[in-house]
Copies of this chain bind each other. A is one copy, B any other.
Amino acid sequence: MSRNPLNDLGSSLGDYLREQRQGARLSLRQLSELAGISNPYLSQIERGLKRPSAEILQQLAKGLEVSAESLYVKAGILDEEFGPDRIDLDVRRAIQADAKLTARQKKTLLDVYESFVDDEEATAAHALTQPAPKTRTTRITRSTPKTPHGTPHGAHL
């Protein structure tokens, strides 16, 4: 029953989102609060009933602490055209070593790169790449370590 066969509006994104959310031990309302959207809407997104806009995806990514790009790829908004086979470490190391990139930018680039080179394993793999999945007990100690977001652009959406 959980799988509703009728409305198949790209459940890949919804599944991924729900996976990430539950992996982060967040309730619908908690994540919706973090993302600044309503909880019923998040529910509908996760079940593939509604299709979120890029803005919403970005906010969700922020709340889940994953890169927005990865969500875009899942949502079919960004092409991935998956690569031939295995991963190449050179690009990763180059990104890591780049002093011009912030930590978050590195994460983003690496995430996009991963979306390109591997992918189908992404669902499982990403769930495991979550930072410290264990310590996340009780309180949503969402310390928001990096970005309370100082983006100068007044998102205003």
Smallest CB separation, A153 vs chain B (Å): 5
In the bound complex, residues from chain B placing their C-beta under 8 Å from that of A81 are 102, 104-105, 151
Q: Pick 17 A–B contacts, CB within 8 A, sort by A.
A: A10-B157, A53-B54, A54-B54, A54-B75, A68-B77, A69-B78, A76-B154, A76-B155, A77-B155, A79-B151, A84-B99, A87-B100, A91-B95, A91-B98, A91-B109, A100-B117, A101-B117
Does A64 reach chain B (CB closer than 8 Å)? Answer: no
Within 8 A of B (CB), among A63-80: 68-69, 72, 75-80
With A9-B157, A156-B10 in contact, do A100 and B86 touch (Cβ < 8 Å)? yes
In the bound complex, residues from chain B placing their C-beta under 8 Å from that of A48 are 157
In the bound complex, residues from chain B placing their C-beta under 8 Å from that of A105 are 80-81, 83, 116
Type the 1/0 row for A96-135, where 1 means its CB is closer than 8 Å to any CB of B.
0111111011001100110011000000000000000000
Does A32 reach chain B (CB closer than 8 Å)? Answer: no
- As for how many copies of this chain the complex holds, the number is 2
Smallest CB separation, A155 vs chain B (Å): 5
Does A58 reach chain B (CB closer than 8 Å)? Answer: yes
In the bound complex, residues from chain B placing their C-beta under 8 Å from that of A85 are 100
In the bound complex, residues from chain B placing their C-beta under 8 Å from that of A43 are none
Question: Please, how many angstroms separate the alpha-carbon atoms of A86 and B100 in the complex?
Answer: 7
